Amino acid sequence: MAVRKFNSFAPTCKSALRASMFTLAAFGVFVVSAPAGNTATSDGKSVAVKFERTAPEQKRFVLTVNYPYRERVYDPPVLVKKLRVKPEGRQMIAENILISHISAMKNLDFDWWLDTWTAAERPAILKQLEAAGKTKEDLLEEWKNTISKSSVLIKRWIIARKYIILTYTTSIQDPNNKSKVITSKEIPVTFKFSDLRWNITQELENDPVVLYFNAGTSRIERVIR
């Protein structure tokens, strides 16, 4: 019995490819393998092709994303009374952590202030200060000239997904006009439950709820280019 040997499968593959190219050409389909602007025909010759386009037409589509949240307003606003020392034990509610956070700044106590953040984010906070070219002493000097001299009111409570957001304002006497008080816009502080208590977090730093809670509208439009 004779045995036919095939030394290579490559010729069979090439034949099949060549046959498929001729089949495509028979239906008027060209196989493009030439540089941009040229098209190769089935016989291997290159012909120039002109790519004609219509005039550009500006189009857009709208993607709507909803960010539901619940909000309460403190009525009246809560005046923050400065704590003299760092509270012992676990402060279970976010309001107590915010009061502790503000008291730390008023007392110019950096370690106390840092302890109000989530444990996972504390190293990142230190790196952010370093990246901004600020030292611990720079931050204390800022607090000394601002919030340590300010009256602080807690204004708003928001719950968004697994986070609580509290807002507060600061009021300070105008150094150039003693009869005038300068009040800040509402400052949002986000809290996350971790280590059996609410801690401050940056996880919602760029979240629309944090950015636009006080925008005066429930609809924000962004143009993505």
User: What is the per-residue pLDDT for 128?
Assistant: 95
pLDDT of 7 > 50? The answer is: no
Between the two ends of the chain, the Cα-to-Cα distance in Å is: 73
User: What is the per-residue pLDDT for 219?
Assistant: 83
User: What is the per-residue pLDDT for 41?
Assistant: 61
Q: Where are the alpha helices (DSSP H) in the chain?
A: 10-26, 94-106, 110-114, 122-131, 136-145, 208-212
Partnered with residue 191 across adjacent β-strands are: 164, 200
Q: Where exactly does CATH 3.10.450.50 map onto the chain?
A: 70-212
Q: Which of 79-83, 105-109, 193-197 has the lowest mean pLDDT?
A: 193-197
Query: Do 181 and 173 form a contact (C-beta atoms < 8 A)?
Result: yes
**What's the rounded Cα separation, in Å, for the pair 123 and 131?**
12
**111-145 pLDDT, tens per residue?**
999 999 999 999 999 999 999 999 999 999 999 99
**171-187 pLDDT, tens per residue?**
999 888 888 999 999 99
CATH number of 70-212: 3.10.450.50
What rounded mean pLDDT belongs to the chain? 84
Percent of the chain scored above 90 by pLDDT? 60
Nearest partner of 171 among 189, 148, 152, judged by Cα: 152
**34-60 pLDDT, tens per residue?**
445 555 566 666 777 888 899 999 988
**63-91 pLDDT, tens per residue?**
888 889 999 999 999 999 999 999 887 66
**What's the rounded Cα separation, in Å, for the pair 45 and 31?**
11
